Chain A
């Protein structure tokens, strides 16, 4: 059985590390982009951003001050047992978020949508966002904490219900136009990771886009070769826009374009886009059945 305090600690440390460290695959991709860019301003944007991540790791600063929406993706196994049951996960996520906020690893950013009142601890209806996925074989828990910045979520979210006759051409047109809009003046903080959901219901479609943007390591592609082909075509197209880091003149508007699919209604073709910013914040805590925790910036799955 995994103790409640172990889960809370794992969530707290994962979101703290997520807010203060840049994942290694993201750093390597930004370094590659820096070597590739030609425009001095494009290069400067990346140099400064990489230095900023170094400063954050060395001191107690943050990879980005907008720690945004606190989110946890929790993968559980067939025989995972948590003290207090799975219901306790929500309370653990709240405790972890409040503690990280009190210690200035998260900015108090979540407010009531109508009164705009800020409780100061990032907790309220729906937040922290926690998604529980039962897809493991063992008795452990994998927790991915992803504090997601406002720029990428606010300016990088698009949805369109298309129809079967709109076809692949419609999907491509929609995605490339979304990327152009999202990267204008650096709104989503490019080079972005673009998640695209195709199919399902509206909420499922958007969830696919979000998870494709947040939870897939750079360089991994969809296992379905047809989907992977679309990813590559769109990636190559995005590099021809002439938009670079932070909306400058350049090549790297995106670090990756990740698609995911769900079956959908025979009358429908829903497409969703969700962007992740250049710092790609997420950190992983893996807890085994005995309560031992390992932390890593490396994502396991594709």
Chain B
């Protein structure tokens, strides 16, 4: 399995194949809904060097404070599809070449990733406890007081972080869209076996 160095180069991003499993090493920043909304609507975003820290990890970790140090208790990737409204804007704004999360993102974010030469990586199983051990250092935290431990932005240094798999490649192809088409194609037969008449519709009461 390949380990990709962060910040991910355009060449690395373009070499990744849909469905390929990878790990990543280097610096990343975290965030979820509030980061997206504030960055786009209010132009408020974590003051970090996005050329150096260019991987956005969609997560609300469980963090424990021990004196001045922060410890990751668990960090399970969160559902990225929720951020689709602002995903593309955030990718373009920070020229993000790596997104890591759960589920997938929609066509607009895929288009933005294609423009910047970036990929979307999604989680394999539930792995928050293994991922926790791969966070080597918690470097910084932004907006902790305003947003709380779950929605604020943490800066992690990670090593062989993952594995994840490529759900959207740098050409904008989405791993899950093929699967969805396959499931849709099976529906008529499944419905027939369940005894649902062909062309069945629910009772319509709105004219």
Contacts and interface: CB of A to CB of B under 8 A. Distances in A.
Contact of A118 (B75, B151, B180, B186): B151
Contact of A187 (B64, B81, B147, B182): B81
B125 A47 contact: yes
Interface string A179-221: 0100011110100000000000000000000000000000000
A41 B123 CA distance: 11
A246 B176 contact: no
Interface in B56-75: 59-64, 73-75
Interface stretch (B3-11, B88-96, B192-200): B192-200
Residue from B62, B122, B184 having most chain A Cβ neighbours under 10 A:
B62
Interface in B14-65: 19, 21, 34, 59-64
Interface residues of A, number: 65
B102 interface: yes
A104 interface: yes
Given A65-B60, A65-B76, A247-B179, A189 B126 contact: yes
What secondary structure prevails in chain B residues at the interface with A? mixed
Contacts of B125: 44-49, 51-52, 245-246
B102 A65 contact: no
A59 interface: yes
B43 to A, nearest CB: 18
A52 B75 CA distance: 11
Contacts of A66: 60, 76, 78
Contact of B126 (A52, A155, A248): A52
B149 A108 contact: yes
6 contacts: A48-B126, A51-B127, A60-B73, A151-B79, A154-B82, A166-B202
Interface of B: 19, 21, 34, 59-64, 73-76, 78-79, 81-82, 102-104, 122-130, 132, 147-151, 165, 167, 176, 179-180, 182-184, 186-187, 189-191, 193-197, 200, 202-203, 205
